[in-house]
Structure 1
Amino acid sequence: MRRVTELIAERASEHGRLAIDTEFVSERRYQAQLCLVQVAVPDADGPEGVRTEVLDPLDATVVLDPAPLARVLADPAVAVIMHAGRQDVAILRRTWDTDITNLFDTQVAAGFLGFGNQEGYESLVRNALGIKLKGGEGFTRWDKRPLTEKQISYAADDARLLLTLGAELESRLAEEGRLEWAREESLLVQASRDERSPERAYERLPKLARLDAGQRAAAWRLCEWRERLAREADRPPSYIVPDQALVELARRRPRDRAALESIRGLPQQTLHRRGAEVIEEIKASRDDTPPPAAPPAPRRDPTEAPLVSLAQAVVRHRSMESGVAPELIATQSELSALVGAVRRGTDRSSVRALDGWRRELVGDELRELIEGRRAVSVDADGGLRVAPA
């Protein structure tokens, strides 16, 4: 199998292109399990000039050496084509110990060409290439062996057409002058990770701001305990204790089994098998230094709501003109942040609408609108007009 991955890597380096897709199972697991990797590279000797391989990391009869492909994925001279690649990137980064440095995501690209912001793969292939995929195998037991011929054929088709789809969308984007926009937006997908940690779990707890110092110490210790057990059992942390129940444990800090049984949402298997551990962790937290209180959420000025609505209208107007999906340009919360930053003169470095391709498309216009230097009106045809005030 090393020879196969070496040949694919050689073709990818030679032509500067590689399409890659994965199949994985994440249900009831601590982290998603990589079950299959499908790759396609340009190859004059392959069918229709493409070589496609389906690599099976779970096949006990074959030793898969991903090192040659891992090096190619990290090579900035090789364009890596994926569709909706956040999970693929994260899984490959973790399991193959590699980075992806030149990603072109076809779902991201579709958002710049009028296809919508979350266009599915089958729909995009049909609309962009005029090819109808067989489908039907996407949500199957990819972790069960042996795989069926239908599963293998489905996986191979995905990768083969992904290479063609990437080339087609790149060509269209280049014609529209938006290829660099799509590459810039793909950087966000390229940075995806799926590592878990107690710190991240703690920060995402609901109603964290309502906990006092002692309760925060208990919540922190319970997050560490839950993460350790979930990793050992290869189960989602929520299988041990759901977030809502963990916060309630931290809030009440039960001292005995009777008090523990009154916690709503605590799984029965945890109560019966781990109840004593939970009580002991909570007891130990009383001597811990609590994490700092969460900063208060920024208060929204109700007088800014009309300005946010006005900004939304301008975004939708430019979306209709350009064909770029409005959700890709700016969400309502992002526009609220923009309005607040401009009005109050606060730091704008984290406001996405004022950076990169968004700034070029509409960001500067929005800033000037909020500053009162641009005005919005309705033209004679009933359309929106944005002009200097």
Structure 2
Amino acid sequence: MVSTTEDLAQLCSEMARHDYVTVDTEFLRETTFWPILCLIQVATPDDEAIIDPMAEGIDLAPFFDLMADPDVVKVFHAARQDVEIVYNLAGLVPEPIFDTQVAAMVCGYGDSIAYNMLVSKICNAQIDKSSRFTDWSHRPLSEKQLDYALADVTFLRDVYEHLKERLEKQKREHWVAEEMKILTNPETYDLPVEKAWTRLKMRVRKPIDLAVMQSVARWREEEARERNIPRGRVIKDDAIYEVAQQHPKDQKALSRLRALPRGFENSRHAEGLLEAIEAGLSTPKEDLPVVPRPSRSPEGTGAATELLKTLLKVIAEQNQVAGKVIATADELEKIAASDDADVAALKGWRYELFGKHALDLKRGDIALGFEDRKIQIIELE
């Protein structure tokens, strides 16, 4: 393992000469808000290494410089958590990046395919998953653990080169590029504390209840970050919903809430929760948030949505691409309700592949029929 800043700088300098580097991380976050980075695996076409970020005195700056190098493509599988770690530690989003899970969906390997399944299909190799849930913070790591960790980036080279070649042949590189814009947007990894309530389900019906929920969710987010513990260790989501509806104003009222742990009302954190509740209740009437209301879909939308699901399945199979990357169930419902729905499925390559056919089906310009034991798209006069 690379365990000194000097060796890391030399490694990253050599890797920066290549067009791409495959990257993976091992981390722990069961008991913390911020993930604890335990291991970094990197590989280029002719080299591979494991970096020990927990080594005493090591400075990860050379690695972060490599992640920021615009001339080197950073290849991940299911990149979001790995990128989040880099963003939290260095304040940067690796770019450019290539997510093999997204590319695999575009190439027809199914929805959100697991890495080991992709390696099996493309490399005809099996990965020993017995070390998957190991304690990566423990030192020393066994040879078996290190072999497992390194396989996450060595096989990834072949996976990347295979998918890249396939995308070029199918002329679908821009499909993946659109998805990468989301993964390279800093807002994906840094939700402002005042928007913490958007992580929650909408279980309130009154504006004042929503104001309390927003205030308490912000307090919990700030507490979790400051104390570096998971959000649920501060208070659980169910407690926020109950607080938002019951409006407890003192310790006695807190003690009657079923969703709060017994004795919470006597803890030093109860005061902060009560202050957050009071802040929400003190919101001026003119500043109260609007409770989102589910829009009523026009009559027949349900049946139209089912037809669109079938159309999506047909088009996905014909083009060997995962339906999930073309349109979501929510988008299909919105298209069924309105031809002018503001959804990704009616824009760009998705429109050409599926969206325009979806609108044609709604207008009666095409139909779905059953022929040769397959559902077919039928052009109508």
**Fold match, TM over 0.5?**
yes
Q: 1:160 Cα deviation (Å)?
A: 1.6
Aligned residue among 350, 354, 362 for 1:362? 354
Note closer, same or farther for the CA distance 1:173–1:291 as it changes in structure 2 (3 Å cut).
same
Counting aligned pairs with the same residue, the percent is 29
SS at match of 1:294: coil
Query: Does 2:36 correspond to 1:40?
Result: no
Query: Does 2:77 correspond to 1:83?
Result: yes
Query: Does 2:337 correspond to 1:383?
Result: no
Aligned residue among 179, 193, 202 for 1:198? 193
SS at match of 1:378: strand
How far apart are the structure 2 equivalents of 1:387 and 1:154? 52
Q: What's the counterpart of residue 47 of structure 1?
A: none
How far apart are the structure 1 equivalents of 2:102 and 2:167? 11
Q: Which stretch shifts more, 185-194 or 27-36?
A: 185-194
8 A Cα contact 1:71 1:98, kept in partner:
no
Q: 1:208 Cα deviation (Å)?
A: 5.0
Matches within 5 A, 1:158-307: 158-191=152-185, 193-213=188-208, 215-268=209-262, 270-273=264-267, 274-289=269-284, 291-307=288-304
Alignment gaps of 5+ in structure 1 = 43-49
Note closer, same or farther for the CA distance 1:35–1:222 as it changes in structure 2 (3 Å cut).
same
Residue type of the partner of 1:194? Y
How far apart are the structure 1 equivalents of 2:84 and 2:378? 41
- Count, aligned residues: 374
Note closer, same or farther for the CA distance 1:369–1:281 as it changes in structure 2 (3 Å cut).
closer
Query: Does 2:54 correspond to 1:58?
Result: yes
Q: What do the CA deviations read for 1:340-362 (whole angstroms, capped 9, x no partner)?
A: 230xxx4x4x3111123212322
How far apart are the structure 2 equivalents of 1:202 and 1:129? 43
8 A Cα contact 1:108 1:185, kept in partner:
yes
Q: 1:149 Cα deviation (Å)?
A: 2.7
How far apart are the structure 2 equivalents of 1:52 and 1:279? 53
How far apart are the structure 1 equivalents of 2:307 and 2:225? 47
Q: What's the counterpart of residue 311 of structure 1?
A: 308
How far apart are the structure 2 equivalents of 1:285 and 1:200? 14
SS at match of 1:40: strand
How far apart are the structure 2 equivalents of 1:194 and 1:272? 34
Residue type of the partner of 1:387? E
Q: 1:110 Cα deviation (Å)?
A: 1.4
How far apart are the structure 1 equivalents of 2:167 and 2:250? 63
How far apart are the structure 1 equivalents of 2:53 and 2:43? 17
Q: Structure 1 stretches (4+) deviating beyond 4 angstroms? A: none
Note closer, same or farther for the CA distance 1:196–1:351 as it changes in structure 2 (3 Å cut).
closer
How far apart are the structure 2 equivalents of 1:69 and 1:387? 55
How far apart are the structure 2 equivalents of 1:334 and 1:59? 47
Note closer, same or farther for the CA distance 1:154–1:216 as it changes in structure 2 (3 Å cut).
same
Note closer, same or farther for the CA distance 1:373–1:230 as it changes in structure 2 (3 Å cut).
same
SS at match of 2:311: helix
Q: Which stretch shifts more, 143-152 or 153-162?
A: 143-152
How far apart are the structure 1 equivalents of 2:93 and 2:277? 39
SS at match of 2:17: helix
8 A Cα contact 1:197 1:227, kept in partner:
no
Note closer, same or farther for the CA distance 1:90–1:381 as it changes in structure 2 (3 Å cut).
same
Q: What do the CA deviations read for 1:100-145 (whole angstroms, capped 9, x no partner)?
A: 2221111111112332112111111111011222221121112333
Residue type of the partner of 1:301? P
SS at match of 2:249: coil
Note closer, same or farther for the CA distance 1:2–1:276 as it changes in structure 2 (3 Å cut).
closer
Q: What do the CA deviations read for 1:56-83 (whole angstroms, capped 9, x no partner)?
A: 21222x41333x3323323333221110
How far apart are the structure 2 equivalents of 1:371 and 1:11? 58
Q: What's the counterpart of residue 18 of structure 2?
A: 15
Q: 1:276 Cα deviation (Å)?
A: 4.2
Residue type of the partner of 2:51? L
Q: What do the CA deviations read for 1:244-272 (whole angstroms, capped 9, x no partner)?
A: 21221132222333322111110235333
SS at match of 1:23: strand
The alignment's C-alpha RMSD in Å is 2.4
How far apart are the structure 2 equivalents of 1:337 and 1:188? 21
How far apart are the structure 1 equivalents of 2:44 and 2:10? 10
Residue type of the partner of 2:311? V
Aligned residue among 122, 130, 143 for 1:128? 122
Note closer, same or farther for the CA distance 1:218–1:386 as it changes in structure 2 (3 Å cut).
same
How far apart are the structure 2 equivalents of 1:300 and 1:87? 36
How far apart are the structure 2 equivalents of 1:154 and 1:297? 47
Q: What's the counterpart of residue 46 of structure 1?
A: none
TM-score, length of structure 2 as denominator length: 0.89
Q: Which stretch shifts more, 188-197 or 177-186?
A: 188-197
Q: Which stretch shifts more, 252-261 or 370-379?
A: 370-379
Alignment gaps of 5+ in structure 2 = none
